[in-house]
Amino acid sequence: MSVGNRAAQAPGLRNDPSVSLPIPAQLCFARAYSGLLRILAVLLDRRQLFLDDNPIKRVPINELHQEEGAHELATSPDMKPYLNFAAALMQGHDPEPELEAIRQLPLEERYVWRVASTLRWAFADLDDLSVSADKETLTPEDFAKVRDLLKLRPIQFCLFLKALVGAEEMERVMVQAINGAKQV
């Protein structure tokens, strides 16, 4: 199903708290509704989302929550063209004018640049020895906070890559990264 078709279904579901969607559909709904990949569900049961054998859980839409800071990012002036695009899709309008507005944006003002450049700065000085030192010295409570902060990042990054380069290339890149990390 295309992004437009998923988004077109969302308006009727948005205000009905009795409607439950499987988590992948909720993630698509959250992306289309807000225009952001970062607004993913923080599930009420707080189960680990590191890929494991947990079955897909159905969660009512009214129980989805935004991460801290997501609202401010979503309502920033830089997101206006993307929010207009999401609104056009959700209202069943032709999104071409909104896509043209996005096309005119310089690279440095685009959503993908914000994500990619933030990752660059986050990992520019990555030092696994320092991570190991922190791991050895964190209290169990602080370690749990760090794990909680990171739990959605792998799937968010995979969704980002999948949207940018496609599912097969996302999988190739992630498998290559995992294999490389295991060898270091």
Give the confidence band of 52 by pLDDT, cuts at 50, 70, 90.
low
The arithmetic mean of pLDDT across residues 151-175, rounded, is 96
Longest alpha-carbon distance in the chain: 54
Give the pLDDT confidence score for residue 75 in this predicted structure.
87
Give the confidence band of 120 by pLDDT, cuts at 50, 70, 90.
very high
Whether the per-residue pLDDT at 132 is higher than 70: the answer is yes
3-state SS, one letter per residue, for the chain? CCHHHHHHHHHHHHCCCCCEEEHHHHHHHHHHHHCCCCCCCCCCCCCCCCCCCCCCCEEEHHHCCCCCCHHHHHCCHHHHHHHHHHHHHHCCCCCHHHHHHHHCCCHHHCHHHHHHHHHHHHHCCCCHHHHHHHHHHCCHHHHHHHHHHHCCHHHHHHHHHHHHHCHHHHHHHHHHHHHHHHHC
pLDDT digits (tens, 9 = 90+) for 13-27: 344 444 343 444 434
The arithmetic mean of pLDDT across residues 125-147, rounded, is 96
Which residue did the predictor score with more confidence, 53 or 8?
Answer: 53
